[in-house]
Chain A
Amino acid sequence: DTGVSQDPRHKITKRGQNVTFRCDPISEHNRLYWYRQTLGQGPEFLTYFQNEAQLEKSRLLSDRFSAERPKGSFSTLEIQRTEQGDSAMYLCASSLVTSATYEQYFGPGTRLTVT
């Protein structure tokens, strides 16, 4: 059973550039979540998908952020015109919608550094 994978693990970019991250959830999981974690803080919710539908977006997800989950499998998170404040760890998680399963399983994260 492979866990949640994320690519790349690290990304350094210059301010103003666009970046895209990928998340591959656990294969049978139909819910996928994105969180952002800054230094010294807990993860903060950004958005989640059930299958290919994006069902909730946080106010943290500004217009420069867009997430997709085509075909309900992997997901991408794109940040346009990056700012230094975007520097953070971006975490992806997945879960299975059943009556008995509530926990989310996290990937290793993508650490973004904007210079």
Chain B
Amino acid sequence: AQSVAQPEDQVNVAEGNPLTVKCTYSVSGNPYLFWYVQYPNRGLQFLLKYITGDNLVKGSYGFEAEFNKSQTSFHLKKPSALVSDSALYFCAVRDSGFQKLVFGTGTRLLVSP
């Protein structure tokens, strides 16, 4: 069965500092990995994905994520955080044999001025 773990309920970072939001996954086949962001009372907005290829993937708004197969991790990163990055971030995985996305419980990112 597919599963995703986001070990931190909340991450606090000062504006201008680098940020990391952690995600680990479990799938039986090849993983397709995604990060989404959710602002209050809004749907989910796609940030980036890893399907195959380079382990470092770049996405929207300066975000990037590093795929680590041995550690089954897909951490979200940004070199310099903005206050406007404050939101709820979800990691999701799709097993290569299935269509549905399985989401983690989300990590709230709070960037202070």
> Could you tell me which A residues sit within 8 Å of B by CB distance?
4, 6, 31, 33, 35, 40-45, 48, 55-56, 58, 91, 93, 102-109, 111
Beyond A58-B100, A91-B43, A106-B44, 10 extra complex contacts between A and B, CB < 8 Å = A41-B105, A42-B103, A42-B106, A45-B102, A48-B99, A48-B100, A93-B44, A102-B32, A106-B45, A108-B43
CB distance from A76 to the nearest CB of B (A): 18
Which residues in window 75-113 of B have CB below 8 A to A? 90, 92, 94, 98-106
Q: Chain B: interface secondary structure?
A: strand
Given contacts A43-B103, A48-B99, contact A109 B43 (CB under 8 A): yes
| Chain B interface residue bracket vs A | 20 to 34
**CB-nearest residue of chain B relative to A41?**
B105
Tell me which residues across on chain B come within 8 A of A91, comparing CB atoms: 43-44
- Cα A108 to Cα B43 in complex, Å, equals 4
Are B43 and A4 in contact, CB atoms less than 8 angstroms apart? yes
Given contacts A40-B105, A43-B44, A91-B44, contact A106 B36 (CB under 8 A): yes
CB distance from A57 to the nearest CB of B (A): 10
Tell me which residues across on chain B come within 8 A of A111, comparing CB atoms: 41
B34 at the interface (CB under 8 A from A): yes
Tell me which residues across on chain B come within 8 A of A105, comparing CB atoms: 46
| Contacting residue for A45 out of B51, B101, B104, CB 8 A | B101
Looking at A6, A48, A58, which has the most chain B CB atoms within 10 Å of its CB? A48
Are B46 and A102 in contact, CB atoms less than 8 angstroms apart? no
- Cα A58 to Cα B70 in complex, Å, equals 30
Tell me which residues across on chain B come within 8 A of A48, comparing CB atoms: 99-100
Which residues in window 15-50 of B have CB below 8 A to A? 32, 34, 36, 41-46, 49
**CB-nearest residue of chain B relative to A100?**
B51
